[in-house]
Amino acid sequence: MYNVRDDEIPFVEKWGKDHGVEVKYTTTTLNQETVEEAAGFDGISCLQTIPYSKELFDSLNNLGIKYLSLRNVGTDNIDLPAAKSNDVKITNVPAYSPDSIAEFAVMMALYLSRKVGYMRQQLNQNHQYHFSPSFMGRLISEQTVGVIGTGRIGRAAIKLFKGLGANVIAYDKYPQKSTNGQYVYVKSLDEIYAQSDIISIHMPATDDNYHQFNHEVFEQMKDTALLINTARGSIVDTNDLMYALQSGEIAGAGIDTIENESADLQDSRSTKQVTDPDILKFSMMPNVLITPHSAFHTSEAVKNMIDISLGNLKQMVEGQTPEDLVD
């Protein structure tokens, strides 16, 4: 197991003991320099947003490793043709805890809607702590929330936003057959951009939606709108988002994932200071809440990610076909 965080270790050790399987783990990232650590093992469990390259799959093949089990959902960072040509089977964890990510998205929306960042800035920069008329916020129930992607996580977010009284509209290429009256599908993304006070992204990253949120889209959005991204960084053009926030094209953003995330971001033992200029700029803006890809991070999610990932590996090693096999 690569990229194992300290909070995962008790769950890893319990799973190994319960199933009588030897599980070796390391905090390092899986790459060309570290892949040799897996020599002699049957399969690998991994959690990272940096690429799984063709060269890496060539190395796995040379080591006789045919199974890679992700502890996350997304596969956009995997060279799938290279995996197939090297006969490496891949599984993911499609639903480790939709509620964890949905709650985080709603938390970000509440934080931004009530202008908490401006209050914190007043205290941190000016050492003042008092009521200010400029901090007047908006109720979620006063707003229209546009949810893009109505899979497990998107539907969990809709349920929570709806519970707070929001008017919810949604868009998905593959809409659900029933909405249970909780939300209304619109016919185009343009309608989401134009009508929404809050847009919450819950779709996987694909070639088609790379930089889907760019300058042209930010111009279509309300200047009072908030953007929440707990999905994938590549969906939002970072430079265009920065301009949109600074120029007033939109009012605020909740950023849990950003383009080109470093391996240090997912190293629980890293003590390196943040040097990414975009992250540092966003962190100083009162209309932004930026977090280190942590929306998933609850005790329930961590346990499920471990149990499902290692369970998938065990099934593959034993010649079975897991439900979570990635095509």
Each residue's pLDDT, cut to its tens digit, for the chain (327 residues) gives: 999 999 999 999 999 999 999 999 999 999 999 999 999 999 999 998 889 999 999 999 999 999 999 999 889 899 999 999 999 999 999 989 999 999 999 999 999 999 999 999 988 887 777 778 889 999 999 999 999 999 999 999 999 999 999 999 999 999 999 999 999 999 999 999 999 999 999 999 999 999 999 999 999 999 999 999 999 999 999 999 999 999 999 999 999 999 988 766 666 566 778 888 999 999 999 999 999 999 999 999 999 999 999 999 999 999 999 999 998
Residue that is written with structure tokens 């908490």 in the block = 116
Amino acid at 273: Q
Q: In whole angstroms, what is the distance from residue 326 CA to residue 222 CA?
A: 38
Which residues of the chain are in CATH 3.40.50.720 domains?
6-96+298-317, 98-290
Taking the chain, what is the end-to-end CA distance rounded to the nearest angstrom? 22
Q: Which candidate in 293, 297, 318, 323 is catalytic? A: 293
The C-alpha angle 121, 285, 99, rounded to 5 degrees, equals: 95
Is 300 annotated in the active site?
no
Q: What class does CATH assign to 98-290? A: alpha beta
Residue 267: what pLDDT? Answer: 61
Q: Which candidate in 261, 269, 318, 323 is catalytic? A: 261
- Which architecture, in CATH terms, is 6-96+298-317? 3-Layer(aba) Sandwich (3.40)
Q: In whole angstroms, what is the distance from residue 325 CA to residue 318 CA?
A: 14
Is 138 annotated in the active site?
no
Instruction: Tell me the three state secondary structure of residue 110.
Output: helix
- Rg value, the chain, Cα: 21
Residue that is written with structure tokens 């998107």 in the block = 154
Residue 327: what pLDDT? Answer: 85
Report yes or no on whether pTM surpasses 0.75: yes
Is 261 annotated in the active site?
yes
The C-alpha angle 116, 117, 122, rounded to 5 degrees, equals: 100
Residue 128: what pLDDT? Answer: 76
Closest CA relative to residue 6, chosen from 27, 36, 20: 27
Q: Which candidate in 155, 202, 232, 249 is catalytic? A: 232
